[in-house]
Amino acid sequence: MLETSGLTVRFGGHVAVNAVSCAFRPGTLTAIVGPNGAGKTTYFNLISGQIKATAGRVVLNGQDLTALGAPQRTRAGLGRAFQLTNLFPQLTVLENVRLAVQAKAGAGLDFFRIWSDRRDLLQKAEAILETVALADKRDASAASLPHGDQRKLEVGILMALEPQVFMFDEPTAGMSVDEVPVILNLIRQLKQDPSKTILLVEHKMDVVRELSDRIIVLHNGELVADGEPEAVIASPVVQQAYLGVNPEETEAV
Ligand SMILES: Nc1ncnc2c1ncn2[C@@H]1O[C@H](COP(=O)(O)OP(=O)(O)OP(=O)(O)O)[C@@H](O)[C@H]1O
């Protein structure tokens, strides 16, 4: 289980995330919603270790991660999509995934030597490419892929690392109409695995409604609502939080 307790960060005099205590169970997809500037991405950054908390703790399965940097948190089981620093633009799609598979298997990064010995790792990488619908682009360089395919590749690399927690911050942002369903399908697939905890920051309420088991609402850095999707969406606090912020969001809620 992932838990934040009293998680807080101040930027100068501004408290961007204010004493947020919340626990996220495996087998649950939690959507984090709230108006622009509510602190959603900052909360993600605090969990994944991109920024250091002013106060509070981040704990995964009883292990206190608060003092650790982002790479160490990834190793501990926190996987944040689209923040990967281990995507190699000049390598092919397959090579990128196979390096992640090898890293996870503890087989190191010497893929010329290890690859020929470890057929199982290659097969795993190929299976992941099938899952993320990139098998037909396995020999293309990562840099040559269109934006949507790069995002799929990043999800594939993340899957190869087998984190316990998957964090998606607006996974469909900037994607074409054709690409959106592929990413949403991937998230649906991940949801089938009861050992995975999924966190999703998403503005599109139809996506939130469909995918989430639970919604938490941040407003001015504070956790102001937490519960089952329909109840949270209908709650006065959410209606109020969205009012006047952005007509699109108001409509969506
Ligand atoms: N590094 C930073 N330095 C100073 N202020 C920051 C920093 N990062 C975020 N903030 C401020 O913290 C607040 C929360 O921002 P954050 O990006 O987390 O909101 P959000 O809910 O993700 O918004 P959006 O939906 O627009 O992405 C905002 O007022 C933002 O300006």
Q: Rounding to the nearest 10 degrees, give the CA dihedral for residues 149, 155, 161, 163.
A: 180
Going from the Cα of 10 to the center of ligand 1, the distance in angstroms, rounded, reads 11
Q: How far is CA 62 from CA 7, 29, 52, 164, in A?
A: 16, 20, 19, 13
Partnered with residue 141 across adjacent β-strands are 92
**Domain extents in the chain:** 1-77+165-176+197-253, 85-162
Q: Measured from the CA of 42, which atom of ligand 1 is nearest?
A: 18
Answer yes or no: is pLDDT of 187 > 70: yes
Rg (CA), the chain: 19
Report the interhelical angle of 147-161 vs 119-131 (nearest 10°): 130
> Considering only 45-49, 102-106, 164-168, 205-209, which range has the smallest mean pLDDT?
102-106
Mutation probe of ligand 1 site: the residue of 42, 82, 222 with most atoms within 8 A of C-beta? 42
Answer yes or no: is pLDDT of 129 > 90: yes
> What residue owns the CA closest to ligand 1's atom 8?
42
Give the integer Cα–Cα distance in Å for 179 and 236. Answer: 34
User: Domain 1-77+165-176+197-253: which CATH class?
Assistant: alpha beta
Going from the Cα of 133 to the center of ligand 1, the distance in angstroms, rounded, reads 33
Per-residue pLDDT band at 240 (split at 50, 70, 90):
confident
Cβ distance 164 to 61 under 8 Å? Answer: yes
Per-residue pLDDT band at 19 (split at 50, 70, 90):
very high
Render pLDDT for 41-57 as a digit per residue (tens, 0 to 9): 999 999 999 999 999 99
> What residue owns the CA closest to ligand 1's atom 14?
39
Give the integer Cα–Cα distance in Å for 119 and 134. Answer: 20
Pairing label, strands 197-201, 165-169: parallel
What's the rounded mean pLDDT across residues 210-219?
95
